[in-house]
Amino acid sequence: MYDHVMKKYTKYVICWALWAALLLVTANGAEAGSELTDKGYQLEQLVVMSRHGARAPLVGPNSVVYKLNTHKQPDWQTKPGHLTMKGARNETAFGQYFHCYLVDEGFMPEDWLPQAGQVSFYTNSFQRTIATAKYFSSGMLPVANIPIEYKLGIDESDPVFIKPITLDTPELYKLGSEFHEKSIGNYLSDCADMLISFEKAVDFSNTPYAKEKGIEHLNTKDINIIYKGKNKNVPGYTGALHDAYKTTDSLIMQYYEEADDNKADGGTGLTYQDWQKIGAIHTAGQCMICENPALALRNTHLLLNTIEQDLQNDNLKFAFLCGHDTNIIMLTTVLGVADYHLPNTITYKAPIGGKIVLERRRSKDGRLYINPYMIYQSDNQIRQCQVLNLQNPPMRYHLTFKGLAQNSDGLYDYDEFLKLLNDISERYAYYTNN
């Protein structure tokens, strides 16, 4: 009798465990790619445009940042702008997730050793972009020694990823200046609310900056669009919000580097909503320049050409490009991606280590499609250095192109997407030749 009861109990426990495991997978979100595979869309190629992982702040000791903060700056163990060891661990974890995902998709074997030309890793020549690609590749392809291509000396800027921010022709200047005149107010609509959290974070009234200027609060209206350079065609902005924007870089990097909330905020008691507003200052500062359609068009031309060539290379199965948040924002702008606000990250336009993924898939009837999405680690996944796998995947956000029609499964016709890229090239030619 006892044995019979125990067998029933054991069977019940096993069934309950399997049911709980199923719930866990469901709670973490079904994999969009797996669903597409189940529907008969075979994954043939991935082109990935990545932002680098977590780095040390870019500022030096003479920066305004040190005047705009009463708290002692952390003792960073890497050079300014270089990938941190935590950034390295998180990018390795990201690569390990892609390994799990692509093996599960049947895209690659467990111990894939790609043949020549099947895999490409090309980055800007900065330490943080090269290192991001290296750590990601070691996670994704642990038994393959993948070379990382970069074209210049370390920390020199490759024009494919970063070009001077200039409006070179009259048509570009007209388009860019009209954007600034019409759109600047949109970026400043929540400025006062955002600056309250910023002032709380830095103890503003006690900063050297506040004392030098004899002010208690930053002036939300103190912002001016300017055009610098010899030909007055280099757009930028100055004022209180710009100073705050530069300071948020170090605040945000400390937030991601330090998992302890009390250490991350210097004991100021910042809430997650405060961090969201600090992230919004940084995002608004980026978008005022990077969402300018003239600048986005001019500065993504070479990168889009590279992406187009990769997509049309049938021998190339996986392409990884690594640049910066500016690349992510400018690409989504020029491609006509519908406005988005990524959840679970304070850097909601171009998250730390975030990646635009273009999957080329073939349907049962032989037609080719593009499945576009942004994939990124949540703030908690980054700060806690979580292991990523199919049970704990990174965040995934489907991208929508305003000028293209989706099919019932949210995919875009491959040829129509290539036509979009060609149309962008023609538009670039028009604005740069007139």
298 lies in the same domain as 283? no
In what helix (H) or strand (E) does residue 214 lie, and over which residues does it extend? none
Domain boundary residue, one of 247, 266, 290: 290
Q: How many domains are there within the chain?
A: 2
Share of the chain above pLDDT 70, in %: 91
* In 2-110, alpha helices (H): 2-27, 32-38, 85-104
CA nearest to 179, candidates 187, 169, 191, 190? 187
83 phi/psi in degrees, rounded to 5: -60, 135
Structural domain contains residue 108: yes
- Residue that is written with structure tokens 């590279």 in the block: 306
- What does the DSSP assignment read for 75-100? --SS-TTSBPHHHHHHHHHHHHHHHH
Separation in Å, CA 386 to CA 92, 115, 260, 379: 11, 32, 15, 10
CA nearest to 368, candidates 34, 105, 44? 44
Predicted structure pTM score: 0.90
Strands 223-228 and 318-323: unpaired
At 9, the pLDDT band (50, 70, 90 cuts) reads very low
At 146-179, the pLDDT tens digits run: 999 999 999 999 999 998 888 888 889 899 888 8
Give the residue-averaged pLDDT of 377-406: 97
Q: How many residues does the chain have?
A: 434
- The span from the CA of 54 to the CA of 128, in Å, is 8
At 112-146, the pLDDT tens digits run: 999 999 999 999 999 999 999 999 999 999 999 99
Quote the pLDDT of residue 434.
67
- The span from the CA of 45 to the CA of 33, in Å, is 12
- The span from the CA of 294 to the CA of 284, in Å, is 17
Quote the pLDDT of residue 2.
39
Give the residue-averaged pLDDT of 365-382: 98
Give the residue-averaged pLDDT of 34-51: 95
At 60, the pLDDT band (50, 70, 90 cuts) reads low
Q: Across the chain, what does the average pLDDT equal?
A: 89
Give the residue-averaged pLDDT of 250-268: 93
395 lies in the same domain as 415? yes
Domain boundary residue, one of 242, 259, 290: 290
At 50, the pLDDT band (50, 70, 90 cuts) reads very high
CA nearest to 229, candidates 174, 168, 184, 302? 168
- What does the DSSP assignment read for 251-292? HHHHHHH---HHHHTTTS---HHHHHHHHHHHHHHHHHHHT-
Structural domain contains residue 204: yes
- The span from the CA of 232 to the CA of 221, in Å, is 23
Is the alpha carbon torsion for 347, 353, 356, 360 positive or negative?
negative
Q: Which residues are CB-neighbours of 221 under 8 A, at least 6 positions away?
A: none
Share of the chain above pLDDT 90, in %: 70
134 lies in the same domain as 283? no
Give the residue-averaged pLDDT of 385-413: 96
Structural domain contains residue 1: no
Structural domain contains residue 26: no
298 lies in the same domain as 427? yes
CA nearest to 153, candidates 125, 193, 123? 125
184 lies in the same domain as 297? no
321 lies in the same domain as 266? no
Residue pair 34/104 in contact (Cβ under 8 Å)? The answer is yes
SS3 call for 37: helix
Structural domain contains residue 75: no
How many C-beta atoms lie closer than 10 Å to residue 145's C-beta? 8
One-letter amino acid at 422 equals N
274 lies in the same domain as 316? no
Query: HSE-up of 409 (CA within 13 Å, CB side)?
Result: 18
CATH number reported for the structural domain that contains residue 328 in this entry:
3.40.50.1240
At 181, the pLDDT band (50, 70, 90 cuts) reads confident
CA nearest to 341, candidates 299, 384, 383, 279? 279
310 lies in the same domain as 236? no
- The span from the CA of 99 to the CA of 108, in Å, is 8
Quote the pLDDT of residue 188.
76
Domain boundary residue, one of 225, 256, 290: 290
Quote the pLDDT of residue 309.
97
327 lies in the same domain as 223? no
Structural domain contains residue 28: no
Quote the pLDDT of residue 164.
87
Quote the pLDDT of residue 61.
64
250 vs 25: which has the higher pLDDT: 250
**Is pLDDT of 265 > 80?**
yes
Give the residue-averaged pLDDT of 198-216: 92
3-state secondary structure 119-186: EEEEECECHHHHHHHHHHHHHHCCCCCCCCECCCCCCECCCCCCCCCCCCCHHHHHHHHHHHHHHHHH
Q: What residues make up the domain containing 201?
A: 170-290
**Is pLDDT of 24 > 70?**
no
**Is pLDDT of 252 > 50?**
yes
175 lies in the same domain as 320? no
Per the rule left: phi > 0, alpha: psi between -120 and 50, beta: everything else, 159 is: alpha
- The span from the CA of 224 to the CA of 243, in Å, is 12
Structural domain contains residue 272: yes
311 lies in the same domain as 325? yes
402 lies in the same domain as 331? yes
Structural domain contains residue 24: no
Residue pair 39/409 in contact (Cβ under 8 Å)? The answer is yes
Residue pair 97/393 in contact (Cβ under 8 Å)? The answer is yes
